[in-house]
Chains A and B, each alone.
Chain A
Amino acid sequence: MSLLEIRSLNAGYGRVQILWDVSLAVEAEQVVALVGANGAGKTTLLRAISGMIPSRSGSITFRGREIAGAPIENIVDLGIAHVPEGRRLFSGLTVRENLLLGGWRSKNGDISRVVELFPILGSRLNQIASTLSGGEQQMCAIARGLMSRPDLLLIDELSLGLAPKTVDEIVARLPDISRSGTAVLLVEQDIDTALTVSTQAFVLETGRITRSGPSAQLLADPTIQQAYLGLAPG
């Protein structure tokens, strides 16, 4: 049984359907990539998983339990944390306060583990979150998500607006996170990065999963290279 298993999911906003018959699985303690062009529906899929939007039909099971239609807070309780697109830190609060709010539900007030993961945050604890650099903000957002000690971490557009070096630095922590017991579902437009760090990958195109498989295999696939990596077929 997979940690997260989505079967034939249909979802969208109001009357507009965005996701069509989406199926996807994430195994425990793995990094899985969900890639696709802008507007493909990646964010929408993460929102459906974390309960921010309702699903119309299909099933989402997490550790064997059906979670489609459950309230967001209960899904957090079950062990899914969602690092939303654009980070969405609580901008007027300090880094420490942001982290502590991440542990709101589990009443986890121990920030040492996440600070160990991103040591730079340790020296920024009393700084107002909105004054952090982009990379630090992303670290803070991921650390905030980890504060609930989830089994699955959903990260939406990790690399958005960050310098390549910063992206590498943060991405390098993902295997540590997964190995310590938190699987990662990483949404990325930067397909090269996503396929390199993950073991399994899914390609979303206009709301449908069109490809999936081991990341190394997709990375080597000429059609993927052509469509997403801008490389000439060869």
Chain B
Amino acid sequence: MTQFAQAAAYGVVQGGLLALVAVGFSLVWGIMNVINLSHGAFAVTGAYVAWLLNQHFGLDPFLAIPIVAVAMFGFGYVIQRGLINLVVNAPIFLTLLLTFGLSLVILNILQLLFTADDRTIDTSYASQSFVIGTVNVPYGRLAAFFLAVIITFALAALMTRTRLGHAIGATGMDRGAARLMGIRARHIYAVTFGIAAALAGVAGTMIATVGSFNPTTTPGQLTLDAFVISVLGGLGNMYGALAGGLVLGIAESIGGLLLTGTWVNAIAMAVLIATLIIRPSGLIGKAQYGGRVEV
């Protein structure tokens, strides 16, 4: 029983981090209909930025977050403006091909620079924890979880309460009509992509702090998780991504107790298939970005 409670607690925390990976992925998918297969690579790139800052300057990963966010926002903005914009109106197959290729390029560069070794960002508080009942909760993980939840809510507030958020939503609903308002769709897309990359980078940093990462297996796993969570939560739905992240985090964590080794990877696929069969619109439903109209 203790074992399950511990796994569930671990799953909740892990789920919060996965949600943070997924919100940006879901946002990009919902707004511009791009399934970004390089999203996991973005998360890992952010993790390396924080890792380098920690290695060379001893910067705490939590303090590195603003730097990672700004750097990854810029990176995402430029990638969208220069590259993804070329295929935004193209058939989905082309965007998949392009983002998959982009992912390969990024990961190969990372591997050349940093080797394929597992990395982790060590902190003094990584091993400190407190106990609730029989469950052990590390401080670092708890902080990472709360940060992930706060950022998710902040993103939801941005989307529903601000002028920029409305412009992003409007561009997602009807790009042509948004342009008629004078909204620069290319810029809005790039900002959206930048936000997604920044959140992925922050999530990557958190993952590197509470666990480890490498440029070979981590990115693919994160992209797959983000995909499953987005479908589970409903495209472009921030709260859905949070709920989906928690579900997947707990499922993978408890599944890890019952299944061995690589079978854990099958859990994400099982959750995906179950969602598509039982509730294809996701836990909470698709956000109001549907009904894209061209011209």
Q: Which of A47, A72, A101, A148 has most chain B Cβ within 10 Å?
A: A101
A88 to B287, CA, bound (A): 18
Tally of A interface residues using CB under 8 Å? 26
Indicate whether A72 sits within 8 Å of B179 (C-beta atoms), given known contacts A88-B174, A93-B169.
Answer: yes
Task: Write the nearest CB–CB distance from B234 to chain A, whole angstroms.
Answer: 13
Do residues A52 and B179 form an inter-chain contact, with CB atoms below 8 A? yes
Which segment of B20-28, B79-87, B181-189, B214-222 sits at the interface? B181-189
Do residues A105 and B181 form an inter-chain contact, with CB atoms below 8 A? yes
Interface membership of chain B positions 137-178, coded 1 if the CB is closer than 8 angstroms to chain A and 0 otherwise: 000000000000000000000000001001101100110111
- Inter-chain contacts of B174 with A (CB < 8 A): 88, 90
Out of A52, A100, A104, which one reaches B295, CB within 8 Å? A52
Do residues B182 and A148 form an inter-chain contact, with CB atoms below 8 A? yes
Interface residue B112 (Cβ < 8 Å from any Cβ of A): no
Do residues B166 and A72 form an inter-chain contact, with CB atoms below 8 A? no
Which residue from chain A places its CB closest to the CB of B166 in the assembled complex?
A97
A53 to B291, CA, bound (A): 21
A76 to B169, CA, bound (A): 20
Task: Write the nearest CB–CB distance from B150 to chain A, whole angstroms.
Answer: 25
Tally of B interface residues using CB under 8 Å? 22
A105 to B288, CA, bound (A): 23
Interface residue B278 (Cβ < 8 Å from any Cβ of A): no
Q: Which of B174, B178, B180, B288 has most chain A Cβ within 10 Å?
A: B180
A88 to B184, CA, bound (A): 17
Could you show 5 A-B contacts with beta carbons less than 8 Å apart?
A: A47-B295, A52-B179, A82-B180, A88-B174, A93-B170
- Interface positions of A (Cβ within 8 A of B): 47, 50, 52-53, 72-73, 76-77, 81-82, 84, 88-93, 97, 100-102, 104-106, 144, 148
- Interface positions of B (Cβ within 8 A of A): 163, 166-167, 169-170, 173-174, 176-184, 287-289, 291, 293, 295
- Chain A to chain B: the 10 pairs with minimum beta-carbon distance, closest first: A92-B288, A105-B182, A76-B182, A88-B177, A90-B170, A72-B179, A73-B182, A104-B181, A82-B180, A101-B181
